[in-house]
């Protein structure tokens, strides 16, 4: 088997990122696009392009039949889903493979298992990953919910078994509010995901979000590439990510990384994955696994020197992992800022035409973006328009370089989140690395007072 032409079932910066990795491997690319993305950079640079429908994602980037037809039309022998859209859709992966097209991603059964939070938690426990105390599975009745909550102690978190992004998730401070908030969570989950299944976990007071990058060859071999700290979040959406975490010791890194790699080896996992934990008082608690490439993967690439997309393609092509665990070294520090087309403090979307664009540059500065002057940012998709990734030999030098790069970055014609990042890098807690997943929202509320 040898992949020679990849259809990229995505858009924006990640589609461009995949295109670049493929071309560096001598592989042709096929861009699919909605009518709104006809002038997008990944469409311009790809070897072939196929329009798959009108702007709504359901009619284009989520339209499985149209994407498979595009792959057959363009004679693509592999499909890379990027992140978002269909990247964690097990049925799509099965359909791709049923058409004798290589799926550049995990095995469909692993996508399905880890996409169901109840099944994922059960599987994680069986694989030896540390869990947040909570229900063994779905909670179907209020009586069962009361029993579980009493056992683990309030406050508790009611969470939807399907989906994410904070929907179908409620913090319950005491028993008096359990029935009402559980009902709200089930209703939200049903409306957002078509599934009202919920489960209950212990609510951690002030944790960090730390995730481990893993890779498996699908044949019982797996490695980890260290952790990323993604604790600066707003409404469960990551804003800034860094690697390594400011709070982990080398001993903790290798211990937890080893546990994650062993779990993936025992699972027979294939390709890239991220195991996400809450971390509090030196303890890790599994929350979920993303069976895809992460938005924040460049910070891992910066400190390891390993091209994760290239590795994904190699593994899908039937090759072995390009390195063993002992070959991987972690050097320096990297930070990624997600730059969105939105008001930096109200977070209202700001689509429109980019009148001027200048990417930051210089040593160890990377910009992943499909922007160019004259490009019109469509209003139909996620507001992230660029990622600024900066590396330094130390965290302090990395932050100084990032401040300089943010000053250089020019995006005019629309509002962006650049001023937010500039203000964050003036805050003592951020500079010292002393923050949790609640820090950003608390800081934003204080600014409004």
DSSP 117-166: HHHHHHHHHHTT--B-SB-SS---SHHHHHHHHHHH-SSEEEEESS--TT
Lowest mean pLDDT among 164-173, 227-236, 434-443: 164-173
**20 neighbors 41 (Cβ within 8 angstroms):** no
Q: Is residue 86 helix, strand or coil? A: coil
pTM (2 decimals)?
Answer: 0.90
164 has a pLDDT exceeding 80: no
Percent of the chain with pLDDT strictly greater than 70: 99
Strand, helix or coil at 407?
helix
Of 212, 216, 224, the C-alpha closest to 321 is: 216
Average of per-residue pLDDT values in the chain: 96
pLDDT of 11 higher than 80 = yes
Amino acid 117: pLDDT: 83
260: left (phi over 0), alpha (psi -120 to 50) or beta: alpha
- Torsion on CA atoms 289, 295, 300, 306, rounded to nearest 10: 100
pLDDT of residue 137 exceeding 90? no
Q: Does residue 158 contact residue 181 with C-beta atoms inside 8 Å?
A: yes
Question: Residue 432 phi/psi, 5° resolution?
Answer: -90, -10
Mean pLDDT in residue range 125-154? 92
The CA–CA distances, whole Å, from 233 to 23, 430, 435, 437 equal: 34, 12, 10, 6
pLDDT in tens, 418-431: 999 999 999 999 99
Is pLDDT at 165 greater than 70 in this prediction?
no
Per-residue pLDDT of 283-328, as tens digits, reads 999 999 999 999 999 999 999 999 999 999 999 999 999 999 999 9
Q: Distances from the Cα of 350 to the Cαs of 346, 377, 424, in angstroms?
A: 11, 9, 21
Taking each continuous run of H as one helix and of E as one strand, the counts in the chain are 15, 20
* Cα–Cα dist 376/413, whole Å: 9
Res. 447 pLDDT band, cuts 50 70 90: confident
pLDDT in tens, 58-90: 999 999 999 999 999 999 999 999 999 999 999
Closest CA to 120 of 284, 296, 275: 275
Of the residues 292, 314, 395, 401, which is catalytic?
Answer: 292
* pLDDT on residue 296: 98
- Count other C-beta atoms under 10 Å from residue 411's C-beta: 23
Mapped onto helix, strand or coil, the DSSP state of residue 329 is coil
* The pLDDT value given to residue 1: 59
- pLDDT tens, 186-230? 999 888 888 999 999 889 989 999 999 999 999 999 999 999 999
Question: Distance between CA 57 and CA 184 in Å, rounded?
Answer: 27
Question: Is a pLDDT exceeding 90 seen at residue 236?
Answer: no
Could you report the per-residue pLDDT of 333-377, keeping only the tens digit for each?
A: 999 999 999 999 999 999 999 999 999 999 999 999 999 999 999
Tell me if residue 91 is catalytic. no
Structure tokens at 347: 């977070």
Strands 208-217, 169-172: pairing is unpaired
The token duo for 376 is 């019109």
pLDDT of 253: 96
As a whole number of angstroms, the distance between CA 198 and CA 160 comes to 4
Residue-level pLDDT at 265: 98
Question: What contacts 12, CB < 8 A, 6 or more positions away?
Answer: 40, 42, 370, 381, 382, 384, 385
Encode pLDDT of 386-415 as tens digits. Answer: 999 999 999 999 999 999 999 999 999 999
Q: Which pLDDT score, from 0 to 100, does residue 161 have?
A: 86
Find out whether 71 and 98 touch, Cβ atoms under 8 Å. Answer: no
């Amino acid at each position: 088997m040898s992949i020679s032409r990849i259809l990229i079932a995505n858009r924006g910066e990640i589609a461009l990122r995949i295109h670049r990795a493929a071309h560096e491997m001598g592989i042709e690319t096929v861009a699919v696009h909605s009518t709104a993305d006809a002038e997008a950079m990944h469409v311009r640079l790809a070897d072939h392009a196929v329009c798959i429908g009108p702007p709504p994602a359901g009619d284009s980037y989520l339209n499985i039949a149209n994407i498979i037809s595009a792959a057959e039309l363009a004679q693509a022998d592999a499909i890379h889903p990027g992140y978002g859209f269909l990247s964690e859709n097990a049925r799509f992966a099965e359909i791709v493979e049923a058409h004798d097209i290589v799926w550049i991603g995990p095995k469909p059964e692993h996508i399905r298992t880890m996409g169901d939070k109840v099944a994922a938690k059960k599987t994680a426990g069986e694989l030896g990953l540390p869990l947040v105390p909570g229900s063994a599975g779905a909670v179907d009745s209020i009586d069962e919910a009361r029993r579980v909550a009493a056992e683990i102690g309030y406050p508790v978190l009611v969470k939807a078994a399907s989906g994410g992004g904070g929907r179908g998730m409620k913090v319950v401070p005491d028993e008096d509010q359990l029935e009402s908030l559980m009902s709200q969570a089930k209703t939200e989950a049903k409306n957002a995901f078509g599934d009202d299944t919920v489960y209950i976990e212990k609510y951690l007071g002030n944790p960090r979000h730390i995730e481990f990058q893993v890779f498996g060859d699908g044949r019982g071999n797996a490695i980890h590439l260290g952790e990323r700290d993604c604790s600066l979040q707003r409404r469960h959406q990551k804003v800034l990510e860094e690697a390594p975490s400011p709070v982990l010791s080398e001993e903790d890194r290798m211990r937890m990384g080893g546990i994650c790699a062993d779990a993936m080896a025992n699972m027979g996992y294939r390709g890239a994955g991220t195991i996400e934990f809450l971390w509090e008082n030196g303890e890790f608690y599994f929350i979920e696994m993303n069976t895809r490439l992460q938005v924040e993967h460049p910070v891992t690439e910066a400190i390891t020197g390993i091209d994760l997309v290239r590795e994904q393609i190699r593994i899908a092509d039937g090759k072995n992992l390009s390195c063993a665990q002992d070959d991987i070294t972690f050097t320096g520090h990297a930070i990624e800022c997600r730059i969105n087309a939105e008001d930096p403090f109200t977070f209202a979307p700001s689509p429109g035409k980019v009148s001027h664009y200048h990417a930051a540059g210089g040593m160890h500065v990377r910009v992943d973006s499909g922007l160019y002057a004259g490009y019109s940012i469509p209003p139909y998709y996620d507001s992230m328009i660029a990622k600024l990734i900066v590396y330094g030999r130390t965290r302090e030098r990395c932050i100084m370089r990032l401040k300089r790069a943010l000053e250089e970055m020019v995006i005019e014609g629309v509002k962006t989140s650049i001023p937010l990042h500039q203000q964050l890098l003036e805050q003592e807690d951020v500079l010292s690395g002393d923050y949790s997943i609640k820090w950003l929202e608390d800081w934003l509320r204080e600014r409004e007072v």
